[in-house]
Structures are given as structure tokens and as C-alpha cells.
Amino acid sequence: MQNTTKISKQLSFWLRHCPQDAGLVLSETGWADVGAVLKALETKGMSCNAARLGQVVASNDKQRFELSQDGSSIRARQGHSVQIDLELAPVTPPHTLFHGTAERFLSSILDEGLKPMRRHHVHLSGNPDTALKVGKRHGKPVVLLVDAERMVAEGHLFYRTENGVWLTSSVPVGFLARNSGKV
């Protein structure tokens, strides 16, 4: 049985960034045909059937993927660098959201705010523990507080994916704080 992490990483690459690497065509809303995905995995030497793919989707710790109701299509829930429309409606976030990053990126963030970089949105979490886990993936972690309430009051939009990730186009420096004080 193929390693779940390996399959998950391959799916992230194809469904978020480079569908053409697998010969996949994403719909406008990011969906790919499951049969084509399974064939592409086989081509890459990763044995996977529809049931196994369902297990990979269900067991992903961040719930990065979703299957269509009939199981014929799959997509990534967020994190895309390819142009797609996730069909998310703006929602009102909690007063404060959190962003986990590595200390080595803090200087740039303090100068420029949070930017989506190669993605469509900045990713935020609803709790500091999740943000801390994200920050740890990139080095010595730093958790930034985002004044989402004030951002909404000033016209910024927020979206929430099915797996609880908060998205916004950017977070200017003036809406960020570290720990209990202003950055």
C-alpha cells in the first residue's frame, strides 16, 4: 500500500499548482476527474484506487482535499497558485485570527504585511494552536494576531473553507500584532 503522505503531497502539487504535470484539466472551480487522477498516480508509480483515494482524502490531517458527492471528482480546498474559483462567499470572521510563520520571515512581514505570495489568498487560522503548528513547519515559530474585526470594518473580505481555513487577499501591517503588543 502506497504511503498516504506521498500520495497527499502529489495531490497537493497537482490540484493546487501544476495539474499539467499529471495531464489533468481542472474545472473553473478546481475539480479534477478522479479517474484521471488515479491514472496519473499510477503513471508516477503510486498504486491507488478510488477507495484508497477516499482514505487519503479522509485521513489528511488538514483536510486539504474534498471529493464530490458522487465521488467522481476531487479538488484542493485552498492554497492554489493556479487560477480557480472555490465558490466561497464572504463571511464575517471572529474578531481575531492568527497566522503562523517562521521567525526568519518576520522582518519582511513587518515591512510589507502578509501577502498571498504565489497563492490566491493569505491563510489564517481561528486559533493560535493551529497557527503555531503552521509556523513550526517553517522554522522557529511566531504567531501573529490579525485584527479581523477592524479589517472587516475597513472593507476587507474574508472567506472560510470547509476545513476551517480563513482566507483574505492580504493583511496590511497595521492589522497585525505579535503576542499581546503591536508589532
Q: In what order do the strands lie in the sheet with 181-182?
A: 96-102, 141-147, 176-178, 181-182
Q: What is the pLDDT of residues 49-62, one digit of tens each?
A: 999 999 999 998 78
% of the chain residues with pLDDT over 70: 96
Q: List pLDDT tens digits, range 65-101.
A: 999 999 999 999 887 778 888 888 999 999 999 999 9
- In this prediction, residue 157 carries a pLDDT of 97
Please say if the pLDDT value at position 154 is more than 50.
Answer: yes
**In the chain, ranges of CATH 3.20.170.30 domains:** 96-182
CA distance to 42, 43, 156, per residue, from 21 (Å): 13, 11, 35
> Residue 18 pLDDT > 60, yes or no?
yes
pLDDT at residue 6 above 80? yes
Of 126, 16, 116, nearest in space to 64 by CA: 16
Distance CA 96, CA 76 (A): 26
In this prediction, residue 9 carries a pLDDT of 92
Query: 105 in helix, strand or coil?
Result: helix
CATH code of the domain occupying 96-182: 3.20.170.30
- The helix/strand count (H/E) of the chain reads as 6, 10
- What pTM was estimated for this model as a whole? 0.72
CATH architecture of 4-76: Orthogonal Bundle (1.10)
Mean pLDDT, range 18-37, rounded to an integer:
93
**142 class by beta-carbon count within 10 Å (0-12 exposed, 13-18 middle, 19+ buried):** buried
- Which residues pair with residue 102 across a beta bridge? 141
pLDDT score recorded for residue 181:
42
pLDDT of residue 179: 63
Segments of the chain assigned to CATH 1.10.10.970: 4-76
